[in-house]
A and B are shown apart, each in its own frame.
Chain A
Amino acid sequence: MSETLLSVQDLHTSFFTDNGEVQAVNGVSFDLNPGEILGIVGESGSGKSVTAYSIMQILADTGKITQGKVLFKGEDLTKWNDKQMQGFRGKNCSIIFQDPMTSLNPVFTIGNQMREAVVLHTDRRGAAADARVKELLELVGINEPEKRMKQYPFEHSGGMRQRVMIAMALACEPDILIADEPTTALDVTIQAQILELIQSLQKKLGMAVILVTHDLGVIADMCDNIIVMYGGRICERGTAREIFYNPKHEYTKGLLRSIPNVSNMKQKLVPIAGTPINMLNLPKGCAFCPRCDAAMKICLSEVPQELTINEDHKAACWMNVKAAYEEASRNE
């Protein structure tokens, strides 16, 4: 495999609110290779979106990267100034958001907004820029691009707007596309269209995609590698098959038990007990421990370290250590 495109190392991001510091991301590290589709899955408050925003440095005013590095082709983005980051966004890395309704400016036409993106990041001007906009719209499967360019966002449906957003994100063929819940606001049949589009574009343009979502179905469908997050930390990472068929973290196991089983629909669901994590008041040990059925004494006090299960799979759960310990003591 070729060199790493993006390497996030021990990333910590906090939000400083009236009620205190919220540690949204707590030491996340991962590598992204060119042409890879990486899925980050987690519930609300797991820090999955904040991780993506930290890479782009588009956090809200109260948010700050407090520790760690984000290396893009070996250069640390956290040391870059605003101007350099502006160059990075759009040119090297683009993001599409959940809500295509609010991410387009309602008072400008589609063509207008797209032309701006093209002019900003490339040296095409005038007719050349227009041609590029048309080309991009065709690329994302929009019929009659010339007509569409003259229309305003409200004249388009949700799926169409998401296509426009993707076209804009692709304006200068970025190396990385971050998709933050790209289909959550869309209907099932439209979701299928958009997912297919992202997949085919990824193949065509060879970019790396980071897909942030809470939908295990989407993740299973789309991703080569998966990161499971909970409480701002990575629980488990591995290939799609490893995560779905051989989960090694209690949270991942619980998550998979709590969705309807496709092969046996009437099988009773096994929910994860308790309530979602309170980010203002993180547990001292493993973040998942208050909701975990298998929680042990050590889970209460110590954060589990990440261990390699096999070359495609890593997990941070004390249960794995317990298994190793028991095996070792049996062997003695």
Chain B
Amino acid sequence: MSETLVDVRNLKQYFPVKVGIARTIPLKAVDDISFTIGRGETLGLVGESGCGKTTAGRSILRLYKPTGGEVYFNGELVTDKNITHMRKKMQMVFQDPYSSLDPRMTVEDIIGEPLDVHKLCSNRKERHERILELMETVGLNAEHATRYAHEFSGGQRQRIGIARALAVKPDFIVCDEPVSALDVSIQAQIINMFEELQDKLGVAYLFIAHDLLVVHHISKRIAVMYLGKIVEIADADELNEHPIHPYTESLLSAVPIPDPDITRARQRIILEGDVPSPLKRPSGCPFRTRCRYATPQCAEECPDLSDRGGNHLVACWVK
């Protein structure tokens, strides 16, 4: 395996939620997750809405102050003090290409903002040239530099967002559902661009998405989250072919596959009920309320991730 770039250890992110007048209880959005991402590698992070995958991405970049745990970037502990400096190396691409670009700024100013903030360009000419270079990298027409974000389609806006993230030449980008707001034919354009950029610039991605097919396509390894916990983490193909955790199993079987013969032939495992609210987490294993194999032990203690061989980590008592 390549050298470790990002090392997340026991990351916890709780949010206080008001109940009643003066009492607050913690909402455990991310509860004790650990993983590593190698240089130039892609880790996919999948899970359903509310499982904490977006929060995880944001607390790694310290957009929230983590409740506990550490993030090491390139061997260096990320703290409040060095975060501004670190942001030159760690960037983010957002889900919504509409709300993540300031409507009052031109494309040039949006892409140029990181350059200004980190004072990466000494004069206006250099800044302008760098911006045009970035626009070309993401496949935007240079004549569009003076236009406003709202004049572009979703895919083009996402390109602007990616150019903004690339401006500081980062080593690591958190991609928070970067294609889920786009049309199918445009998704492929953006996914291909992510892959090309990785080949060319050697950036590592944390690719957060709920679309398993897309995540499987782009990722080397995949981590599956459920209610703030990572329940399984393995190489993409291994996870897809031999899912161990019951949740992963049913998640994979529930994905509609765009191939009539395959999708109609396979056996679907339909999960009962809904995801519990993160405020009312079941005791023990968070998945036990919907799990087919649940035993009394599952209600008592939460299983830790254990290696099932070949770097395939699973958190389950039964399987």
Interface residues of A (CB under 8 A from B): 43-44, 157, 159-160, 187-193, 195-196, 214-221, 240-241, 244-245, 254-260, 262, 265-266, 268-273, 275-276, 291
Contacts and interface: CB of A to CB of B under 8 A. Distances in A.
Contact of B255 (A188, A240, A266): A188
A275 B155 contact: yes
B256 interface: yes
A273 B183 contact: no
Interface in B178-227: 183-189, 191-192, 195, 210, 212-214, 216-217
A161 to B, nearest CB: 11
B185 A258 contact: yes
| Residues of A contacting B: mostly | helix
Contacts of A255: 184-185
B271 A193 contact: yes
B258 interface: yes
B283 interface: no
B259 interface: yes
Given A192-B268, A258-B187, A265 B217 contact: yes
B254 interface: yes
A196 B268 contact: yes
Interface residues of B, number: 44
Contact of A276 (B153, B259, B275): B153
B279 interface: no
Contacts of B260: 220-221, 240-241, 244-245
B110 interface: no
Given A217-B258, A220-B258, A257-B188, 6 more contacts: A221-B257, A258-B185, A265-B216, A265-B236, A269-B192, A270-B188
A259 B185 CA distance: 8
A190 B255 CA distance: 11
B49 interface: yes
Contact of A188 (B156, B212, B274): B212
Interface in B243-268: 250-251, 253-264, 268
A244 B217 contact: no
Interface in B64-89: none
B186 A260 contact: no
Interface of B: 48-49, 153-156, 183-189, 191-192, 195, 210, 212-214, 216-217, 236-237, 240, 250-251, 253-264, 268, 270-271, 274-275
A193 B213 CA distance: 19
B222 to A, nearest CB: 11
A304 B33 CA distance: 55
A214 B183 contact: yes
Nearest to B236: A265
A44 to B, nearest CB: 6
B256 A215 contact: yes
A189 B257 contact: no
Given A196-B270, A262-B213, A271-B189, A189 B251 contact: yes
Contacts of A188: 48, 210, 212, 251, 254-255
A19 B213 CA distance: 39
Nearest to A46: B183
Contact of A193 (B184, B251, B263, B270): B270
A103 to B, nearest CB: 18
A217 B274 CA distance: 22
Nearest to B183: A43
Q: Which of A43, A240, A258 has the most CB of B within 10 A?
A: A258
Contact of B191 (A254, A256, A269): A269
26 contacts: A44-B183, A157-B274, A187-B49, A188-B210, A188-B254, A189-B251, A190-B48, A190-B274, A191-B256, A216-B184, A217-B255, A218-B256, A220-B257, A220-B264, A221-B264, A241-B260, A241-B261, A257-B188, A258-B189, A259-B213, A262-B259, A265-B236, A268-B192, A271-B189, A271-B192, A275-B156
A187 B156 CA distance: 26
A260 B258 CA distance: 9
Q: Nearest 8 A-B pairs (CB), nearest first?
A: A217-B256, A271-B188, A258-B188, A192-B254, A216-B258, A187-B48, A272-B185, A260-B217
B246 to A, nearest CB: 12
A159 B50 CA distance: 14
